[in-house]
Structures are given as C-alpha cells and as structure tokens.
Amino acid sequence: MVVLKGIPSVLSPDLLYVLAKMGHGDDLVLADVNFPSSSICACGPREVRADGLGIPQLLEAILKLLPLDNYVPPSSSSHGSCR
C-alpha cells in the first residue's frame, strides 16, 4: 500500500477528492448518523460517508490539510455594528 506523507490515513480517497475541489465559500458538513444526508444530497451536495470515525477525529484530520475559511460576507440585514 502506498501512503502519502502528511495525509492522515483516516481520510478516504473520496473525501480527499472533495476537499481538493473545495474553494472559498464552500461548506463541509460533518454530521452523525442521524443527519438526513441522503435526502439532502439527492439533488446537489455530495455525500461522503466516514463510518466508524468520530467527528472530532475526522475534523482533526481535515484541519491538518485544509485551513478554515474565516471570511463571512456582510449580512444584508445588518445596520451598522452593535456594541
């Protein structure tokens, strides 16, 4: 088996492909088994399962490769800053 250096082994090839295609503003949902991904992903987003992995373990592995995007577009309903 070939192992790429620095890539956590818990990340599947499918998940690595999805992460590689992500850009600014794209969303990634890490959810448990009760999340209705099959119905949500039927017409748009791609479902990548990571059965047997906990969300903290998966998140830690993803963050080693992909930094969080901290850009948040301004809300159209905001009327100045509140303090």
Q: Which residues are catalytic?
A: 24
DSSP string for the chain: ----TTS-TTS-HHHHHHHHH--TT-------TTS-HHHHGGGSSPP---TT--HHHHHHHHHTTS------PPPTT--S---
